[in-house]
A and B are shown apart, each in its own frame.
Chain A
Amino acid sequence: DGGITQSPKYLFRKEGQNVTLSCEQNLNHDAMYWYRQDPGQGLRLIYYSQIVNDFQKGDIAEGYSVSREKKESFPLTVTSAQKNPTAFYLCASSLPGREQYFGPGTRLTVT
């Protein structure tokens, strides 16, 4: 079955540590996205990538970094510079000009 996988489902880290969230898709989609979801704030775009080896900042990119070395993979690193990293992180992908499909999400807790 085609789809988007995110791992792990739950992630716990100490303050000051970088952490990398995985996102893999086997839908052969060109575009991939990372969103952050906080209660009562909907989803906000962190980074997006339209093709391999290229990505752009979204609305809240500060404290995050990404890479796109393969079409199938778009990992997100939450760095120690992110002031409020505890959130639910969602990865999505799409064909050009089409709807986005979402993964199941990773809940990150930083204490």
Chain B
Amino acid sequence: AQSVTQPDIHITVSEGASLELRCNYSYGATPYLFWYVQSPGQGLQLLLKYFSGDTLVQGIKGFEAEFKRSQSSFNLRKPSVHWSDAAEYFCAVGTIMIYNQGEKLIFGQGTELSVKP
């Protein structure tokens, strides 16, 4: 069965430090992969996505992620964290539904990021 694991429930980093959030997935075919960010009480905002092609993908807000098939990973990175990056981050894998319409997303449990001044 498809699954997504985010091993870190909570991470704290200092402002200006680099960040890496881990994501491992289990999926039988080439996955569609996503990272979303959620501020408290808000909906999810798409940070970046991987469908095919270049395994290093750039997203919004200075984030990037690298798809590593051999490790079944899609880790999110940012070289310098800002206080406004404090939020919850979700990794998701997309599975094609029948009729190739829409995606069923399977989410990890999320990683809460705190930023120290």
Contact = CB atoms under 8 A, between A and B. Distances in A.
A44 B106 CA distance: 8
A48 to B, nearest CB: 7
Residue from A4, A6, A98, A100 with most neighbouring chain B CB atoms (10 Å): A100
A33 B43 CA distance: 13
Contacts of B34: 99
Interface SS of A by simple majority: strand
Contacts of B105: 33, 43, 45, 100
Interface of A: 4, 6, 30-31, 33, 40-45, 48, 50-51, 58, 90, 92, 94, 96-105, 107
A105 B42 contact: yes
Interface of B: 9, 34, 36, 41-46, 49, 90, 94, 96-97, 99-105, 107-110
B45 A102 contact: yes
B41 A97 contact: no
A111 to B, nearest CB: 19
A102 B101 contact: no
Nearest to B6: A42
B109 A99 contact: no
